[in-house]
Amino acid sequence: MHIFNQLTYINKTSLALGFFDGLHLGHRVVLKNAVHIAKKNNTQSCVITFKEHPLNILTNQKVSQILTLNEKLQMLSDIGIDNVVLLNFNDYSHIKAEDYLKNVIVKYFSPIAVSTGFNHYFGFNKEGNTDFLRACSEKYGYKYYEVPPFVIDGNVISCSAIRNKINLGDFVSANEMLGYEFFLGGAVIQGDKIARALGFPSANIYYPDEKIEIPFGVYFVKVQVENKIYNGILNYGFAPTISNEQKLKTEVHIIDFNEDIYGKNIKISFITKIREQMKFQNKQKLIEQLVRDKAFVDIYKHFLKNM
């Protein structure tokens, strides 16, 4: 996959337009449609998107992402996208819809097809929408594909709905809408080794700044180390039983695993929340709860196998 940080000429493309935060099930239909059309017509698929969330510029407030930019790019590559063009939203936010379509989309990409979700907007004051793209398709010589809402249990899948579930720690529902398990990734860093002294050695990683923050608590996770997957228990928050220091930690105990992985990249996928963060009377009470947490994972993993 080719990644461009500015406009570049790519002729006769099958375009997918959108920010695609989360790359949820609805997004994937849009993207796979663009890939399918490109292959069918022996041309290239291309995503035009923005480096930062448009609401960061429009509202001057930080919108935390379901995926980091690097995670999103990797997943776009896995889906089969040939090209991704990353633009600065601030450079285009004041352009009228017709000018953006004519002088950016058509001029640089001469699309044979344009695919978007049902709620796609672009141009100054959101002048451009699905009706506008459809109305202009004959004029500019492309076929337009609007992907309808993707619905699960009567609820429309959206990034805001997924963020709400993540904010609640409801990863069962969030993962169902995403079509994959919400995850963190990063290199294992040096910890304080207190968990090891308790008999539950843990791997620590940095929580990405741009990633949506999960609630404090303890979670059943899957941990990928190189090409192997392990069950794990992740704690996100502080360690109130061990220390009064307000130092935020992301640490995971990988079950039935005892290798030195400092500096190695791991991927942590969230399955479900086990419990809230708790302060125990002493370390022995904490150890007893950790044993119960592990028992929860043992039971839940068999439940998953039987689904």
Cα angle 269, 270, 271; round to 5: 120
pLDDT digits (tens, 9 = 90+) for 142-154: 999 999 998 988 8
Mean local confidence (pLDDT), 12-38: 96
Q: What is the pLDDT of residue 245?
A: 65
According to the model, what pLDDT value does residue 93 have?
85
Residue 63: is its pLDDT beyond 70? yes
User: 133 or 123: whose pLDDT is higher?
Assistant: 133
Query: What's the CATH number for 181-305?
Result: 2.40.30.30
Q: What is the pLDDT of residue 307?
A: 45
User: Could you give the CA distance from residue 195 to residue 242 in angstroms, rounded to a whole number?
Assistant: 9
Is the Cα torsion angle 211, 212, 217, 220 positive or negative in sign? negative
**Is the pLDDT at 198 greater than 60, yes or no?**
no
Mean pLDDT of 25-44: 96
Q: Does domain 2-152 have CATH number 1.10.240.10?
A: no
- Phi first, then psi: give them for residue 38, nearest 5 degrees: -60, -45
> For the chain, where do the domains classified as CATH 2.40.30.30 start and end?
181-305
pLDDT tens figures, 235-275: 998 765 565 566 788 999 999 888 888 999 999 999 999 99
Predicted confidence band of residue 281 (pLDDT cuts 50, 70, 90) = low
How many CB atoms neighbour CB 33 within 10 A? 18
d(CA 53, CA 190): 32
What CA dihedral angle connects 176, 177, 180 and 185, to 10 degrees?
A: -120
Give the per-residue SS3 of the chain: CEEECCCCCCCCEEEEECCCCCCCHHHHHHHHHHHHHHHHCCCEEEEEEECCCHHHHHCCCCCCECCCHHHHHHHHHHHCCCEEEEECHHHCCCCCHHHHHHHHHHHHHCCCEEEEECCCCECHHHCECHHHHHHHHHHHCCEEEEECCCEECCEECCHHHHHHHHHCCCHHHHHHHHCCCCEEEEECECCCCHHHHCCCCCEECCCCCCECCCCCEEEEEEEEECCEEEEEEEEEECCCCCCCCCCCEEEEEECCCCCCCCCCEEEEEEEEEEECCCCCCCHHHHHHHHHHHHHHHHHHHHHHHCC
Residues of the chain with CATH 3.40.50.620: 2-152
**Is the pLDDT reported for residue 196 higher than 70?**
no
Half-sphere exposure of 255 (CA within 13 A, CB side): 19
- CA 70, CA 246: separation in Å to the nearest integer? 29
Question: Nearest 5°: phi and psi at 146?
Answer: -100, 120
Residue 120: pLDDT band (50, 70, 90) is very high
